[in-house]
Structure 1
Amino acid sequence: MEDTGGRAKVAAVAVGGSFSVEQPLWIAISAFRVLTVLYAVGRYAQHEEHYTNQPGAWIYMAVLTAWTLGTIRVFWSKQHCGRRWLIADLALVVVGILLTRAFDAPHWVHDGDVTLPTIRAAGSVLGFAAFGGWLPAAFAGVVVGVANIAEAGKLDSSNLHNIVLLLLAGVAIGFVIDLARKSEETLARALEIQAATRERERLARDIHDGVLQVLTLVKRRGTELGGEAAEIAGLAGEQEVALRRLIASGLGPATPAATRAEPVAVDPNAPHDVRTLLAPLADPQVSLAQPGTAVLLPNRAATELAAAVGAALDNVRRHVGEQAQAWILVEDEPDAVVVSVRDEGPGFDPARLAEAEREGRLGVSQSIRGRLRDLGGSAEIFSAAGQGTEVELRVPKQQVPKQREGK
């Protein structure tokens, strides 16, 4: 029997907790074993007069009941229930089926009287199904079926009907658990790929905000200076192109929001005033308009929003000019913080954004839109030829602890 439970357990942990699709099934099987053994005891007590060896039958029922109740915790989860427990449980059921022929009156056996374990046998088959899937369940069902035929001394329509139902139930449960395990494994692999893609996007943003910005500056300033500096500028330009291609080739499709770890050990949910992060961005070329009261966001959201604003200003300097005028407007709405960055440059065709992303220029797609997407917000870019560009960044407000009065 193939042990697929280990992979399913790993998959369940990867999904984000101790939940496993198998656990509710094991609990149901454990409860089923208890209920069916109580039914078997009650059924035997009702038909005790059918048996020629009543003390022997009572001893077996007592052993079966004690075993079932004593192994409740064992059959409560796969972590505790192994092959040996399942084989022992199946063996005890088979012994009870065969003892029925010895303890029951011959004419009752011939008339198709039910066996001592009766439907308690199904609990053993279901245990094999939950443990190893449909194939072990089919094996256990066949063993129980052969024992029933041996007890009856013949294969008639009655025991054939019971055997078919038992096999169908066991195999069906086995198929369900096999499918559930494969689904968990597939989900775990998808989450691993998604996590890797998120990390690549985060690294791409950091590289864009650091290395690529420096290479672009060296290329531009070196070209302006000429001479040996122009040669350095050419090398910087080549490295910039190569690095952009490398980043673009390593990025997967866009993914949902992800949590980005900050380099400073600060509570990411602590409230932070966005204004304190945007104030350093103001200079003679950048005008900042913001409310007179604190604009609070969780620390991580405020930091990422400020970084996105910085990336938008970098785009203004790069595409419009170092002395280009830009305006930052901060709006504290009831359900969101909105920051707009506007310039009066020549503007551009919005279709160029997709083209730039394909070429590895990720300033907008990652440093701006990627950051806002990770925060559950949005970044809208409005531009037209000759009408400048406006970047609107919207971050939904999360639960931020209210400041105490007088603070």
Structure 2
Amino acid sequence: MGNRSYEPSTVDTRWLGAVMDAAFFLLLGGALARFLLRHPGEPRTPWIIALSLVLAALHLLGPRAGDSGLRPTRRHKAWLALTVVVWMVLVVLAPSFAWCAVPLFYTGLRTLPPRAALALVAVLTVFVVAAQVELSGRFDPNLVLAPPAVAALATAVFLQMERHTARQRFLIDDLLRTRHELAASERREGTLAERQRLSMEIHDTLAQGLSSQRMLLQAADRVWETEPDKARSHVRTAASVAEHNLAEARRFVHDLAPADLAGGEGLDEALRALAARESGADLAVRVHIDGDGRLPQLPDRVRSALLRVAQGALANVREHAGAGSAALTLTVLDDEVVLDVADDGHGFDPAALPDSPDGGRGHGLPAMRARLRALGGTLTVESTPGEGTVLSAAVPLEAPR
């Protein structure tokens, strides 16, 4: 898109250059025709014709008026000096060639630095005035004042256009630079957001599964000699958690969707599967789904977020609460869906949690809040020491159309 921003200016410049070329050859041809009609057979005629051809050839060999970004070089300056000298000789021999200076004004202003260009315009104007006075045969104030006025006006307009073009080019360059910086900033923000999302996904899947396996295997090790049946139960539960964790890892690599939702199951079935997986000898997890009725179809992002919240909450219950039972309650209202996770553990004081990004509990609660906040939802934690904990996650739903 940045290149297209320059196209109109380049097209306009080339169009103006073509007009200047046409004007130059029309003026040159008109002056030559006027001279041949009024002064046929004079000794100077061959010189006039030869110099006219040389001037036309120089114009064709010089830099094109439509070339953008033209920087004066020694070759350009030498070409311009030779062109002006040939034109001056022509004007001295035949004053009718004076008006060929108009395209030379434009070429000089484009080729030379400002001061040198103004000096050239002044010299060309003097020659034009002298030629017009000589052609008229008498002194005419209008012929003396009009050419300088026209030259001054044309020069002022050209310089103003050049300044405007320079400002426009600067603004376009600045806009393109700003767009590139904005795109780079958006990419950085997207990368950071994706890193945070991946961090939460890893915490809610692999890390929690590994933590559960470790606790189950430690429990099995403690009772391996005294209660082998209970130890084998812990090992079987750890194996089940490992199998599910493997499915989560594969799903995580594939598209980061929860494995419990991969087969198109609803959130209620996913919560029941989670409860069955987390239930064991030391923790019983129950599920209550809005009166056990069939849930309406929830958006995929809402289902995934609430399931992750339930996984994180049960991981905290198993690791920190010391609870014997926990309950998952899912309620769908007209404008929001609410998931409550309650346990009968020893509880804690929410206000006493360390004021840190992870709240003193890894990525658990902050990850849940961030996940729900992305959906416009909220997370509420109610707990009292010795009386258990209730975690409530609410996500708004779009109004039905």
Normalised by the size of structure 1, how large is the TM-score? 0.53
Does residue 180 of the first structure (1) align with residue 179 of the second (2)?
no
The amino acid that maps onto 2:266 is D
Matches within 5 A, 1:24-39: 24-33=4-13, 36=16
Aligned residues of 1:97 and 1:115 also touching (Cα < 8 A)? no
* Partner of residue 341, structure 1: 341
Q: In structure 2, do the counterparts of structure 1 residues 223 and 285 end up closer, same or farther at CA, with 3 Å as the change threshold?
A: closer
What SS does the corresponding residue of 2:332 show, helix, strand or coil? strand
Matches within 5 A, 1:4-403: 20=1, 22-33=2-13, 36=16, 44=23, 52=31, 86=68, 114-115=102-103, 143=112, 145=114, 148-149=117-118, 151-154=120-123, 158=152, 161-162=156-157, 164-209=159-204, 210-211=206-207, 214-215=210-211, 218=214, 222=218, 262-263=255-256, 273-282=266-275, 284-290=284-290, 292-299=293-300, 301-331=302-332, 333=334, 336-343=336-343, 346-350=347-351, 352=353, 354-355=355-356, 357=358, 361-366=362-367, 368-374=368-374, 376-385=375-384, 388-394=389-395, 396=397
Shift of 1:195: 3.1
The higher radius of gyration belongs to 2
Aligned residues of 1:110 and 1:152 also touching (Cα < 8 A)? no
Aligned residues of 2:105 and 2:121 also touching (Cα < 8 A)? no
Aligned residues of 2:338 and 2:395 also touching (Cα < 8 A)? yes
Q: Take 2:254 and 2:211, find their aligned partners in 1: how far apart are those partners? A: 26
Q: Take 2:164 and 2:287, find their aligned partners in 1: how far apart are those partners? A: 73
The amino acid that maps onto 1:202 is R
Q: Deviations over 1:145-192 (max 9, x none)?
A: 478447525499937635642452243234323323432332233233
Q: Which has the higher contact order (CA 8 A, sep 6+)?
A: 1
What SS does the corresponding residue of 1:26 show, helix, strand or coil? helix
Q: Take 1:176 and 1:121, find their aligned partners in 2: how far apart are those partners? A: 27
Q: Take 2:315 and 2:297, find their aligned partners in 1: how far apart are those partners? A: 25
Q: In structure 2, do the counterparts of structure 1 residues 108 and 90 end up closer, same or farther at CA, with 3 Å as the change threshold?
A: farther
The amino acid that maps onto 1:380 is L
Q: Take 2:268 and 2:96, find their aligned partners in 1: how far apart are those partners? A: 89
Q: Take 1:299 and 1:359, find their aligned partners in 2: how far apart are those partners? A: 30
* Partner of residue 249, structure 2: none
| % identity of equivalent residues | 15
Q: In structure 2, do the counterparts of structure 1 residues 322 and 344 end up closer, same or farther at CA, with 3 Å as the change threshold?
A: closer
What SS does the corresponding residue of 1:339 show, helix, strand or coil? strand
Q: In the comparison of the two structures, how many residue pairs are matched?
A: 309
Q: In structure 2, do the counterparts of structure 1 residues 326 and 172 end up closer, same or farther at CA, with 3 Å as the change threshold?
A: same
What SS does the corresponding residue of 1:361 show, helix, strand or coil? coil
CA RMSD of aligned residues (A): 5.6
Q: Take 1:317 and 1:269, find their aligned partners in 2: how far apart are those partners? A: 25
Question: Where does structure 1 lack aligned partners over 5 or more consecutive residues?
Answer: 1-19, 69-84, 123-140, 229-259, 403-407
Q: Take 1:309 and 1:223, find their aligned partners in 2: how far apart are those partners? A: 23
What SS does the corresponding residue of 1:296 show, helix, strand or coil? coil
Q: Take 2:221 and 2:356, find their aligned partners in 1: how far apart are those partners? A: 30
The amino acid that maps onto 2:312 is A
Q: Take 1:97 and 1:358, find their aligned partners in 2: how far apart are those partners? A: 80
Q: Take 1:162 and 1:143, find their aligned partners in 2: how far apart are those partners? A: 17
The amino acid that maps onto 2:190 is A
Q: In structure 2, do the counterparts of structure 1 residues 224 and 37 end up closer, same or farther at CA, with 3 Å as the change threshold?
A: same
The amino acid that maps onto 2:267 is V
Normalised by the size of structure 2, how large is the TM-score? 0.54
Q: Take 1:270 and 1:102, find their aligned partners in 2: how far apart are those partners? A: 88
Shift of 1:88: 7.6
Q: In structure 2, do the counterparts of structure 1 residues 203 and 265 end up closer, same or farther at CA, with 3 Å as the change threshold?
A: closer
Aligned residues of 2:340 and 2:390 also touching (Cα < 8 A)? no
Shift of 1:208: 2.0
Q: Deviations over 1:202-261 (max 9, x none)?
A: 332243232355347636974896699xxxxxxxxxxxxxxxxxxxxxxxxxxxxxxx96
Q: In structure 2, do the counterparts of structure 1 residues 320 and 101 end up closer, same or farther at CA, with 3 Å as the change threshold?
A: farther
